[in-house]
Structure 1
Amino acid sequence: MKNALFGGVNAAVLTAMKPDLSPDPARMAGHAKWLLANGCNGLGVLGTTGEANSFGLHERKAILEGLIAHGVPAATMMPGTGCASLTDTVELTLHAKAQGCRGVLLLPPFYYKAPSDDGLFAYFSEVIQRTGGGIPLYLYNFPQQSAIPFSIDLIGRLLKAYPGVVKGSKDSSGDYANMKAMVDNFAADGFEVYSGSDEYLQRILAEGGAGCITAASNGNSHWGGIVYAKRTGPEADAAQAMLTATRKAAVSVPLIPGLREIIARSTGDEGWRTIRPPHLPLTAAQGDAIWAAWGAAGALPLPGFAAAKAAE
């Protein structure tokens, strides 16, 4: 897909925290800059991997502002702004717009289960009307977490009613057929489809998708960048195999603390293990296991890390 706003590899960025569990934008910004220098085209901040729903509104605003203050360009970031509350979603979306972000990622209103498509259409219509439609919205399809899928019919209704505002989707369902259906039905109209699963990057690009927004990109973005640049051929195929292997390694333990462990061991910064309950850090055995799995895949040390440390 040409001219996608976030086309390419986007890391679902981990949120750094201080020992008291407060956000640490300075440490997070350092990681974000490393990602942008090592294969990432953009950054999905304050999503599932970033533990957005463990933070309050003021904290989420402070994280975004802090990243910008520490030199992460607002235009590279797609913050998650979807909340269970309509007014919270509107407030965070307007805040992201005011900071200069080019798009936001919206979960559906996830507390009440099994809403109708009519109810979801009404919710997103209110969000669009109250935010003035001045910032592109990306739909976050993650039914395993939200329990609310976005149907093809609902997406079609939103695109017809609000052309150019509902700009795309991150599909973390793991159902490739669903991702392809989005591409087949809407990509010709400029709808950007991003895989939430690393193993589908090469495939979704070939189908006309825009790229990926993934958790494992916190450590495997180097190879994602190769896939996005090359698309096909031996180098792209080998890089895609690495994405698939590292994704498998990442989900061999609880995903978010596992990725924190990889970054902590790679940087020597134990602070990356700090995580808000109900999540917990890995046990020592789990930490050894995921480190070994990434090493067995050939992904360690993380490419570009030594150069980044030397530049500090």
Structure 2
Amino acid sequence: MTTQRPQPTRRPRPFGRALCAMITPFTATGDVDLAGAQKLAAHLVTEGCDGLVLNGTTGESPTTTDAEKTTLVRAVREAVGDRASVVAGVGSASTRHTVALARAAEAAGADGLLVVTPYYSRPPQAAVEAHFLGVADAVGVPLMLYDIPGRTGTRIEPETMLRLAGHPRIVAVKDCAYDLLGSTKVIAGTSLAYYSGCEELNLPLYAVGGAGFVSTVANVAPRTLRAVLDAFDAGSTAEAARLNGVTLPLAELMMASGLPGTVTTKALLDALGLPAGPVREPLQSAGPERVGALVAAYEAMRAGQ
């Protein structure tokens, strides 16, 4: 008689487990391709994503207008209905601007808001805390805090995160801090749902109590990335590790080879016949040699599943 070992009880996942940091498709003339965004969103949900994060770094938020951001949220909400959560990136360097973006995204149908640490001005921790609390107080939907000091210049320190966890609408974190110790400390001490924002940490963070991932690579490999979590939840840690290893060469080529993830993702999506289009300047499209390497890595990943 085979005895199944009980699986650990996992904390709530307010936006699902497998979230894609979705690109923003553009037309050949550089306009937002709303029909393409709806097609891609529906495809990603069918392929296993239970959440979509719009208007983030991968979505080229620095070069899209406020109106484009809001229109994109509305279009994707219409496309996926209640089959997946829609989280809207609303972060900016200004608290006032962030609040305005947050209210617009909520009105457009977002289930939650991704709010990044204010960048460039490098506010001290008390100001970082006040910023997030101000946004949370201004809306009626939950927040996912985005901790990515490599881009913003400012960390959300673990002690600050522990205090912010007391707000009823601050429920999750997209973790790009590369501090597994600090993240584990907050996971252990709060009910915050931690989502890995770095592909190489998807499985390690999940193993210590994380909620899942917000992944750029999920634009092209949603089913494979989700399979890692499925295997872990089923108690097959060896299979989870194997599948995780299968994804790493493609993830490394997309995210750590000198080109921004937005560029590599759009290049590969175009090659796969999915909506993407060009990137907006100052970003520039990948060359033919890189596109060929991406396709080869993608095919190798598919063969190794």
TM-score (norm 1): 0.86
Counterpart among 149, 155, 167 of residue 149 in structure 1: 155
Cα distance per residue 1:250-293 (max 9 Å; x no partner) = 123512111111111111x6x62411001100111222222223
> Tell me, what secondary structure is at the counterpart of 1:274?
coil
Is 1:117 aligned to residue 151 of structure 2?
no
Q: Pairwise mapping of residues 73-92 of structure 1 onto structure 2 (< 5 A)?
A: 73=82, 76-92=85-101
Is 1:107 aligned to residue 120 of structure 2?
no
Decide whether aligned partners of structure 1 residues 82 and 3 sit closer, same or farther in structure 2, where only a CA change above 3 A counts.
same
Is 1:64 aligned to residue 67 of structure 2?
no
Q: Pairwise mapping of residues 235-254 of structure 1 onto structure 2 (< 5 A)?
A: 235-251=239-255, 252-254=257-259
The Cα shift of 1:4 comes to: 1.3
Is 1:46 aligned to residue 55 of structure 2?
yes
Give me the whole-angstrom Cα distance separating, in 1, the residues matched to 2:201 and 2:46: 23
1:184 corresponds to: 188
Decide whether aligned partners of structure 1 residues 123 and 298 sit closer, same or farther in structure 2, where only a CA change above 3 A counts.
closer
Give me the whole-angstrom Cα distance separating, in 1, the residues matched to 2:250 and 2:188: 28
- The residue type paired with residue 30 of structure 2 is L
Give me the whole-angstrom Cα distance separating, in 1, the residues matched to 2:142 and 2:289: 43
2:138 corresponds to: 130
- The residue type paired with residue 285 of structure 2 is P
Give me the whole-angstrom Cα distance separating, in 2, the residues matched to 1:221 and 1:71: 16
- The residue type paired with residue 279 of structure 2 is I
Whether the 8 Å CA contact 1:6–1:42 is kept in 2: the answer is yes
> Tell me, what secondary structure is at the counterpart of 2:272?
helix
Report the RMSD for the aligned CA atoms in angstroms: 2.1
Give me the whole-angstrom Cα distance separating, in 2, the residues matched to 1:185 and 1:247: 31
Q: Pairwise mapping of residues 162-181 of structure 1 onto structure 2 (< 5 A)?
A: 162=167, 164-181=168-185
> Tell me, what secondary structure is at the counterpart of 1:104?
strand
Whether the 8 Å CA contact 1:226–1:235 is kept in 2: the answer is no
Cα distance per residue 1:286-307 (max 9 Å; x no partner) = 2222222333x33379x9xxxx
1:230 corresponds to: 231
Cα distance per residue 1:226-248 (max 9 Å; x no partner) = 12222142432322122323211
- The residue type paired with residue 241 of structure 2 is D
Cα distance per residue 1:133-175 (max 9 Å; x no partner) = x211111011111111110111122223x2x211110012333
Give me the whole-angstrom Cα distance separating, in 2, the residues matched to 1:71 and 1:116: 39
The Cα shift of 1:37 comes to: 1.2
- The residue type paired with residue 174 of structure 1 is Y
> Tell me, what secondary structure is at the counterpart of 1:109?
coil
1:260 corresponds to: 266
Give me the whole-angstrom Cα distance separating, in 2, the residues matched to 1:212 and 1:71: 19
Which runs of 5 or more residues in structure 1 are unaligned?
304-312
Cα distance per residue 1:175-224 (max 9 Å; x no partner) = 333332332232xxx21000012222222222111000011111121112
> Tell me, what secondary structure is at the counterpart of 2:121?
coil
- The residue type paired with residue 244 of structure 1 is L
Whether the 8 Å CA contact 1:104–1:137 is kept in 2: the answer is yes
Decide whether aligned partners of structure 1 residues 65 and 244 sit closer, same or farther in structure 2, where only a CA change above 3 A counts.
same
1:8 corresponds to: 17
Is 1:97 aligned to residue 100 of structure 2?
no
Whether the 8 Å CA contact 1:57–1:88 is kept in 2: the answer is no
1:213 corresponds to: 214
- The residue type paired with residue 223 of structure 2 is H
Percent of counterpart pairs with the same letter?
23
Decide whether aligned partners of structure 1 residues 70 and 8 sit closer, same or farther in structure 2, where only a CA change above 3 A counts.
closer
The Cα shift of 1:21 comes to: 1.4
Counterpart among 271, 276, 280 of residue 272 in structure 1: 276
> Tell me, what secondary structure is at the counterpart of 1:169?
strand
Query: Number of aligned pairs?
Result: 291
Whether the 8 Å CA contact 1:138–1:170 is kept in 2: the answer is yes
Whether the 8 Å CA contact 1:26–1:67 is kept in 2: the answer is no
Moved over 6 A (4+): none
1:310 corresponds to: none
Cα distance per residue 1:20-75 (max 9 Å; x no partner) = 21111210111111111112121111111111121111111111112233445485
